[in-house]
Chains A and B, each alone.
Chain A
Amino acid sequence: MNPNSQQSEARRKKTQRGKTRRKKPKLAVFKFASCDGCQLSLLDCEDELLAVADAVEIAYFPEATRATVKGPYDLTLVEGSITTPHDAERIHEIRRKSRVLITIGACATSGGIQALRNFANVNAFIGAVYANPAYIETLRTSTAIADHVPVDFQLNGCPIDKYQLLEVISAFLHGRKPNVSPHSVCMECKLSGTACVMVSKGTLCMGPVTHAGCGALCPRFNRGCFGCFGPKETPNTASAAATFRELGATDAEIERLFRSIQAAAPAFHEESLIAERAQNTNHG
Chain B
Amino acid sequence: MLQHAESVTLQAGLFAQLLDVLKNDGYRLIGPRVRNGAVVYDDIANVNDLPRGISDEQSPGRYRIASSGSDRMFDYVVGPTSWKRFLYPPRRKLWEATRDDRGAWQPEPAADECQATAFIGVRACEISAIRILDRVLNESAYPDSAYAKRRRATFILAVGCAVPAATCFCTSVGGGPSPEADFDIALTELGTGDSHRFVLRAGSETGRGALRRLTDHLSLKPTALQATSEADQRAVDEQVRRSVGQITAVPAMGRAREILGASLRSDHWETVADRCLSCANCTMACPTCFCVDVEDVTDLTGTHAERWQQWDSCFTLSHSYLHGGSVRKTTASRYRQWLTHKLDTWHDQFGTSGCVGCGRCITWCPAGIDIRDELATLDSEVSEEAKAT
Contact = CB atoms under 8 A, between A and B. Distances in A.
Q: Indicate the member of A174, A176, A179, A239 with the most B CB atoms within 10 Å.
A: A239
A11 B101 contact: yes
A171 B296 CA distance: 10
The DSSP consensus for interface residues of chain A is: helix
A193 B277 CA distance: 20
A236 B226 CA distance: 58
B138 interface: no
Interface stretch (A32-40, A47-55, A58-66, A75-83): A47-55
Contacts of B81: 193
Contacts of A171: 298
Interface residues of A, number: 51
B36 A200 contact: yes
Contact of B278 (A207, A234, A243): A234
A184 interface: yes
B22 to A, nearest CB: 23
A208 B279 contact: yes
Contacts of B311: 187, 190-191
Q: Indicate the member of B274, B281, B285, B318 with the most A CB atoms within 10 Å.
A: B281
Contacts of A195: 35-38, 40, 63, 79-80
Contact of A233 (B63, B273, B317): B317
Contacts of A208: 277, 279, 281, 366-367
Nearest to B316: A183
A91 interface: no
Contact of B317 (A192, A196, A234, A243): A234
Given A12-B101, A243-B366, A194 B275 contact: no
B172 interface: no
Contact of B91 (A186, A191, A202, A233): A191
Interface residues of B, number: 54
Nearest to A182: B317
Contacts of A48: 300
Contacts of B79: 195
A8 interface: yes
A199 B363 contact: yes
Contact of B300 (A166, A190, A201): A166
B64 to A, nearest CB: 7
A176 B318 contact: no
Given A170-B297, A176-B298, A239-B277, A222 B366 contact: no
Interface in B74-93: 79-81, 85, 90-91
B180 interface: no
A236 B301 contact: no
Contacts of A194: 36
Interface in B30-66: 35-38, 40, 42, 61-65
Contacts of A8: 101
Given A15-B103, A183-B318, A190-B285, A199 B301 contact: no
B26 to A, nearest CB: 24
Interface in A143-190: 166-167, 169-171, 173-174, 176, 179, 181-184, 186-187, 190
A191 B284 contact: yes
Q: Indicate the member of A51, A187, A199 with the most B CB atoms within 10 Å.
A: A199
Given A8-B101, A15-B103, A195-B35, A190 B281 contact: yes
Given A183-B318, A187-B313, A209 B277 contact: yes
A40 to B, nearest CB: 19
B295 interface: yes
B297 A167 contact: yes
Contact of B274 (A52, A54, A201, A239): A239
Nearest to B59: A199
24 contacts: A170-B300, A179-B296, A179-B297, A181-B316, A182-B318, A183-B317, A186-B366, A187-B313, A190-B90, A190-B280, A190-B285, A191-B284, A193-B85, A195-B37, A195-B63, A195-B79, A196-B63, A202-B62, A209-B277, A234-B329, A236-B278, A239-B367, A242-B367, A243-B277
Interface of A: 8, 11-12, 15, 48, 51-52, 54-55, 166-167, 169-171, 173-174, 176, 179, 181-184, 186-187, 190-202, 205, 207-209, 222, 233-234, 236, 238-240, 242-243, 246
Query: What 7 pairs across the A-B complex have the smallest Cβ distances?
Result: A190-B284, A195-B38, A208-B279, A208-B277, A186-B279, A191-B90, A184-B279
